[in-house]
Amino acid sequence: MSSPVRKAVIPAAGYGTRFLPVAKAVPKEMLPLVDQPVIEHVVREAVESGIADILIVISRSKRAIEEHFHPAHELEAELQAKGRDEELERLRELHRLANIHYVWQPRMGGLGDAVLQARFHVGNEPFAVLLGDTVISTEGERPLTRQLADVVESRGGSAVALQEVPLEKVQRYGILGGDDLGGGLIFGRQFIEKPRPDLAPSRFAVCARYVLSPAIFEQLQATPKGKGGELQLTDAMAGLMQREALHGLLFAGQRHDIGNKLDFLKANVHFGLKHPEIGDSLRQWLRDLLRDSP
């Protein structure tokens, strides 16, 4: 019903105000989950979803992201000379991972404005959007972006990832209301960015992953500024829903929002416990810590 999803856009230009002062000079997307920056997890999700063309939207003080995926010839030569083959292979794998491109978002104008910067790169085909500060673990299931791409490739239109949240938290998210099609699919009817609880059309919150029809670009250009004086992707999707299908997919999995301090620490424990080098020691340390704490 729709052409295959071949491109992904990763917005990573935001100031990271929830994570100051560290986010002043270090992009929050470069904060580590053990030894791997958050954005590498996000790029890997796109790649594991069959998408190798990736556009990262950056801004001032985000250059470390470019450096991370760019070859480091001197460092690689040094590792080679020292016979550090494992580390060398890990670095080389990084710049073979995908075709990564960058575009600057000149002014911080909201998520809609960030996505709009991708219009020339994406052209006229469906594309994925993965927020660069959020890692999703689907534990053995297909990656979430792949699941959304499957919905769009078979049904057309656009698709967004959803999680049910308590009513008192709806004000933090884009909330989608619609018809339940079964199997975790919702046919979107109403979409509101950060509604008051009494105005929320449901408790289904959009969670950092989208596969969008290219018609979103035209819609974004016609959408006025919304919440917070910013161009909201949610508002443009709400407009697009009048013309094209938009499906929500309730997914099973865990969302790690790295811009949030507590989630960042929890994510490090989550990935630390699975880490082949430190997992066992971390588990033991946590057991001791909890046993000894009052």
Binding ligand G1P by CB under 6 A: which of 207, 212, 231, 249? Answer: 207
Residues binding ligand G1P: what is the number (CB under 6 A)?
Answer: 11
Our finding on whether 192 is near ligand G1P (CB under 6 A) is no
Q: Would you give the end-to-end CA distance of the chain in angstroms?
A: 59
Nearest approach, Cβ of residue 226 and ligand G1P (Å) = 9
Stretch that binds ligand G1P, among 117-125, 180-188, 202-210, 278-286 (CB under 6 A): 202-210
- Assess 193 for contact with ligand G1P (CB under 6 A): yes
Among 57, 208, 231, 249, binds ligand G1P (CB under 6 A): 208
Among 19, 69, 173, 204, binds ligand G1P (CB under 6 A): 173
How open is the CA angle 76-79-82, to the nearest 5 degrees?
A: 150
**Least CB distance to ligand G1P at residue 169 (A):** 10
Encoding tokens for residue 209? Answer: 């992953």
Amino acid at 226: G
Dihedral (CA of 82, 87, 91, 96) sign: positive
d(Cα 24, Cα 112) in Å, to the nearest integer?
23
Q: Which range binds ligand G1P by CB under 6 A, 53-61, 116-124, 148-156, 206-214?
A: 206-214
174 touching ligand G1P, by CB under 6 A? yes
Residue 26, SS3?
coil
Compute the least distance from the CB of residue 196 to ligand G1P, in Å.
Answer: 15
Question: Among residues 79 and 165, whose Cβ is nearest to ligand G1P?
Answer: 165
Q: Work out which of 9, 111, 118, 282 binds ligand G1P, going by CB under 6 A.
A: 111
The residue sitting closest to ligand G1P, measured at its beta carbon, is: 174
**Whole-number Å distance between alpha carbons of 104 and 107:** 9
Are residues 217 and 120 in contact, defined by beta-carbon separation less than 8 angstroms?
A: no
The C-alpha atoms of residue 207 and residue 226 are separated, in whole angstroms, by 19
Query: Binding ligand G1P by CB under 6 A: which of 33, 54, 65, 131?
Result: 131
- H helix runs in the chain, sequence order: 38-48, 63-69, 73-81, 85-96, 111-116, 119-122, 144-155, 215-221, 233-240, 261-274, 279-292
Residue closer to ligand G1P by CB (options 108, 245) is 108
Residues forming contacts to ligand G1P in the complex (CB under 6 A) are 111, 131, 173-174, 193, 205-208, 232, 234
